Amino acid sequence: MKPYIHIILTSLLLASCSLVDEPVENCYDTDSDGNVMLSFRMLTPAVDSRSRADDQNHDEVDSEYLRFEDGIDMSDIGMFVFAKMANAAGNEKLVLRVTDFPTGSGAENVQVSGGAGSYTVNITFGRTQLASLLGRELEPNGAEMVQFRILMVANSSDRAAIASGRLNEITGDTYTAVINQLEPWIYSMSDLCNFNPAVVDQSPMSGMVTDLYPGDRKCMPMFGTNTFRVSQRSLCNSTELGRAYLGEMDMLRSLAKIRLIDNISNKNEAGYPKIISADLVGTQQAIHILPYGALTYINATQVHTPVIADTDLESENTVNSAYGLGIIPASWTDIPAQSRKGNIFVGYAPEMSIRTTDAQTGEGLPAYRINIALSRKADGTEVTREYIVPMTGYEDNSLNFGDYILRNHIYTLSINSVANSLVTFNVAVKEWRTIDYEYEY
């Protein structure tokens, strides 16, 4: 069932509906209350009305586990609002910082409504505060636009830490300064799942609901920023019910999704062969919150260069992680989405290189490690076999997964047939959007 998000239309109205006809010299001549009131939509990421289908005309669903993949933990967000006159040189300057939502300093100026995938954010601050930062009063008849830049990080605190404790360390007063402070931020995969890097055989995300920390770290780390230009008149005439609507800002997930599909066509009447468990054997454990080139990042774009620290490169040929792929229950989403004969398995991984270990196509990392039940014996036990499918290639066949696992992308392996020593499959790499949303007003 598709989620419906009810949004009050009046909160999204452009402030132009309340424009006055008579020319005035400054904002204080209007009937407003001395505040600038803004609104924008925050998406996870671009909500796309287009559909995507496979060769069997099955619509594809990008987000199966909505709460984790598309949700934002409101107790773990850092929001930074900067402003300057649009034609002014230099960086925008900080006008609002919220690092302890919903109860901390500045939080009273922010309202958030909506649900996983789409949120409406309302922001309020004083005109005198904005005028002081801009170095001039707002003029309703002024031709020059005001430029706002909004930066947000979400779901990015360590599992054992209070979110505001880490966010409060970000003290910069320009966009560049804040980005420079955020760039070193690392988030451990062990904060998302029961994971011991010393025990490669664990499947930390199998089961999904029980092995992720429910109520603790229940959402994926994200980053987003965008710039908006607004007329001085719209700012002067902004009110609670007629906010100046900025537009949309997309949140970029910091992880990739790893998907495995049981599409084995040569099943017998008992359903064998079938995939019974799987994980991704990888080389990296660290999630870098900000993408490569965050300082110049353009809203709603994908990033095709990974962030892999120099210290991480030393382990690029070493197996030190195994991220379990959990079965997606049919009740979680309407997944006629994939052509399949069995279950869909899903997990997550940080950015890492896809490379061969000994210049052999079939000996690369990362690799899907797949446990397949081939048949059932008379005593009820199953005959199983483990298949290792490196993302570089299987046996002598190269795979087209690319050179890296990249954030906010989906890496899908579909197993189409199984023999004792051979697996045939399809692979796909796609940008990770979100499911389609329908809005009611």
What pLDDT, in 10s, does the model give residues 103-148?
777 788 999 998 878 899 999 999 999 999 999 999 999 999 999 9
Those residues of the chain that have pLDDT short of 50 are: 1-21, 46-60, 194-217, 333-337, 435-441
Residues 279 and 247 in one domain: no
What are the structure tokens assigned to 23, written together? Answer: 């020319």
Mean pLDDT taken over the chain? 78
Look at residue 63 and tell me if it is in a domain. Answer: yes
Look at residue 117 and tell me if it is in a domain. Answer: yes
Query: Strand, coil or helix: what is 131?
Result: helix
- pLDDT of amino acid 204: 36
Residues 156 and 245 in one domain: yes
Under a CB-based contact definition with an 8 Å cutoff, are residues 120 and 11 in contact?
A: yes
Burial of 397: CB neighbours in 10 Å, binned 0-12, 13-18, 19+:
exposed
Q: Which whole-number Å values give the CA distances from 197 to 101, 191, 320, 325, 371, in the listed order?
A: 33, 12, 6, 16, 20
Query: Strand, coil or helix: what is 289?
Result: coil
Residue ending a domain, choose from 195, 230, 253: 253
- Cα separation, 367 vs 325, whole angstroms: 12
- pLDDT of amino acid 59: 42
Amino acid at 260: L
Q: Which domain holds residue 111?
A: 4-185+220-253
CATH number at residue 426: 2.60.40.2630
Residues 261 and 246 in one domain: no
User: What domain count does the chain have?
Assistant: 2
Look at residue 206 and tell me if it is in a domain. Answer: no
- Cα separation, 227 vs 298, whole angstroms: 9
- Cα separation, 434 vs 220, whole angstroms: 13
**Smallest Cα–Cα separation from 433: which of 117, 65, 5, 150?**
117
Angle at 388 (CA atoms; ends 387, 392), nearest 5 degrees: 140
Write phi, then psi, for 189 (nearest 5 degrees): -60, -25
- pLDDT of amino acid 339: 59
- Cα separation, 290 vs 182, whole angstroms: 7
- pLDDT of amino acid 342: 84
- pLDDT of amino acid 414: 92
* Unique residue bearing structure tokens 């995969």: 189
Residues 281 and 228 in one domain: no
Task: Write 301-310 long-range contacts (CB < 8 A, 24+).
Answer: 302/252, 302/406, 302/408, 302/409, 302/431, 303/252, 303/406, 303/407, 303/408, 304/406, 306/351, 306/352, 306/353, 306/404, 306/405, 306/406, 306/407, 307/351, 308/284, 308/351, 308/352, 308/353
- pLDDT of amino acid 34: 85
- pLDDT of amino acid 193: 55
- pLDDT of amino acid 18: 37
Amino acid at 167: L
Residue ending a domain, choose from 228, 253, 278: 253
Look at residue 300 and tell me if it is in a domain. Answer: yes
| 413 Cβ contact partners less than 8 Å away, ≥ 6 residues apart | 259, 260, 261, 368, 389, 425, 426, 427
Give the single-character DSSP code of 436: -
Residue ending a domain, choose from 205, 228, 253: 253
- pLDDT of amino acid 215: 39
- Cα separation, 194 vs 182, whole angstroms: 26
Terminal Cα-to-Cα distance of the chain (whole angstroms) = 19
Look at residue 387 and tell me if it is in a domain. Answer: yes
